[in-house]
Structure 1
Amino acid sequence: MKNSNSNQKVILFNTFSFQKQGFLGPSHRLYLLSFLSVFALILLFLATLTTKRITSSSSYSSSIPLPPLPSHVLDALLHYTTISNSSSHMSLADLRTIATVLRHCAVPCNFLVFGLGFETPFWNAINYNGRTVFLDENEYFAAWYEERHPHLEAYDILYTTSVAQMPDLIAAARNQAKTDCRPVQNLLFSDCGLAINDLPNHLYDVDWDVILVDGPRGYSPEAPGRMSAIFTAAVIARSRRKGDAATNVFVHDFEREVERLCSEEFLCGENMVQSSGSLAHFVIERADPNSFEFCRNRTSLPLK
């Protein structure tokens, strides 16, 4: 705008000079003003046309679905993710199982991960053409990860449960299956003791295609345990808003009691499609809003 105004001032100044010296009569001044008006309109038209082209081009490119990650790139990422022998890392077989589902997920793919860890950058990279959100119990760890990886979206969760409370929490959920702990509900307003309802509001409006439960800590009686994460994943999957697509839910450390019992209670054996011992894969269909049972074929599990 500054350049346009300065040029206009120069032209008016020159016109005034010509007029003062007698070079321009009234008719010539009229022709000059007409020419300048037409020229300005042409410039305005060209600017508008260019803006429209840029806008339409960017919107068009953003609507084009990106292709799946090439298999050789996936293999390379898997290799470097599992190059360490730390026992805290997920196995190559388990990583590949989840990565394969993500690679063939509808675009854009919404991927929700409970827990931050060594594999976090890998999950973010694999789902490069979708949205990946991480939830962790440690707010400082989540902030550190986001600072180190600027393209990562992470939020902290305040868990109020402990592994030792698992029997009481499952029993309470059974008793409230038709009220606060029903399988289809808006978790944002849930009063169920196992529901996670303190996430940013916009996350409850997303239809999550893949959910991985790999947190919070669950290796001691005082740890938060994954009861709430598994229950919340089960409700999210059954409460999808759009389409007939199912939700793939993965539970890591499935060999542990909490993960196994809560998965059988809320994700259900009839929905399990694969289990490797340490990783269980469930496919959960959207449920009827009037449904009050998580599992069709569940028998009451003994709770210690």
Structure 2
Amino acid sequence: MMKGSSTKLIVLHPSVHKQSATQPRLRLLLFLSLFTFAFLVALINTKNYPSTAAPTDTSATRVSKLVSDALLHYAATANATDRMTSGEMEKIAAALRACSAPCNFLVFGLTHETLLWKALNHGGRTVFLDENEYLISKYEKSYSDFEAYDVQYTTEVSKFMELIDSVKEQRRNECRPVQNLLFSDCKLGINDLPNHLYMIPWDLILVDGPRGYSPKMPGRMSAIFTAAVLARSKTGHGGEKTHVFVHDFAREVERICSDEFLCKDNLVETTDSLAHFELEKMEPDCSEFCTDGSSAAAKSSS
């Protein structure tokens, strides 16, 4: 006789601990899904344009106000201690929306908001500069159209006043406010970027790096000086003005360097710890960063 067979039903009971451990992952997955959905909506808005020709209305390629607000909301509510405030992010987003053409956006520093800036400038060109070559490599591997370059800073926060003095001495020569920094030996000028970056008419420049919260760190002296020169030396078809944003403006280095090279008369507003300047192009023979002669550099050199 053949022995009777029996079927056993195995029931797996999920661990209570495993369930609770997956909750943070689910929240992260939900956030990424919402972010991806918002970005896809922006892409769908442009799908009707032929791939072989640029749209006649360049403003239509931008992220809509609805999608922009959604991205800002999720970036502001993300759990990160070093992020910008919602008010600070909104000021930069508003400047991007106000561009009369796809924006050229230069950002010093890779931060919590990096992908937000790239998404909000959809249809424009966003370039990042950072001191961390490894971090740049990670972004480039994850995002095929990510454009970033490493900068080897030689400055220190503890020596920022000495560096400002060196600009005062050379403001008519190597440290002129209007020049191509590629050929400059100014101590605060960044002169080792790819050549083409010096020719781009930047519409917005954000200084949110490099690190500057301790004496041995490079500080943002070079970033602020370079932003000031790029804005005043603007060429090409960009607008007459360049929006320059400086984050952590309450710190001594950021505030003093902004006064010296971006100038108080160009300060539009401050929001929390973000300062917004609007700089106009200057004539090639100018030697004063601040046209009213109010900067410390002008006073000490007169």
TM-score bin, normalised by smaller chain: 0.7 to 0.9
Partner of residue 97, structure 1:
91
Q: Give the distance between the partners of 1:193 and 1:299, measured in 2 at CA.
A: 19
The aligned counterpart of 2:282 is 287
Question: Residue 107 of structure 1 contacts residue 129 of structure 1 at CA under 8 Å; is this kept in 2?
Answer: no
- Determine the C-alpha separation between the residues in 2 that align with 1:119 and 1:254: 17
What is the number of equivalent residue pairs in this alignment?
247
Query: Where does structure 1 differ by over 3 angstroms across 4 or more consecutive aligned residues?
Result: 61-64
1:106 Cα deviation after fit: 2.3
1:59, 1:188 → 2: CA distance?
Answer: 34
Contact 2:260 2:295 in 1 (8 A): no
Q: What is the CA-CA distance between 1:266 and the residue it aligns to?
A: 0.0
Task: Tell me the distance in 2 between the aligned counterparts of 1:277 and 1:118.
Answer: 17
Q: What letter matches 1:188 in structure 2?
A: L
Corresponding residue number in structure 1 for 2:261? 266
Cα distance in 2 between the residues matched to 1:247 and 1:107: 13
Equivalent in 246, 250, 265 of residue 245 of structure 2: 250
TM-score by length of 2: 0.78
Q: Is 1:300 the equivalent of 2:291?
A: no
1:1-304 equivalences under 5 Å are 58-61=51-54, 64-67=57-60, 68-242=62-236, 245-297=240-292, 298-300=294-296
Shift of 1:61: 3.6
| Equivalent pair of 2:263/2:295 in contact (CA under 8 Å) | no
Work out the CA distance in 1 between the residues paired with 2:200 and 2:253.
27
TM-score, with length taken from structure 1:
0.78
SS of structure 2 residue aligned to 1:121: helix
Cα deviation, residue 145, structure 1: 1.3
SS at match of 2:77: coil
Superposition RMSD on alpha carbons, in Å?
Answer: 1.7
Q: CA deviation at 1:124?
A: 0.2
**1:195 touches 1:228 (CA, 8 Å); kept in 2?**
yes
Q: For structure 1, list consecutive stretches of 5 or more residues without a partner in the other structure.
A: 1-56
State the Cα deviation string for residues 180-217 of structure 1 (Å, max 9, x = none).
00000010000000000111111111010000000000
Question: For 1:97 and 1:87, how far apart are their aligned partners in 2?
Answer: 20
Aligned AA (2:68): L
Counting aligned pairs with the same residue, the percent is 54
Structure 2: runs of 5+ lacking an equivalent? 1-49
Per the TM alignment, residue 150 of structure 1 is displaced from its structure 2 partner at its CA by 2.2
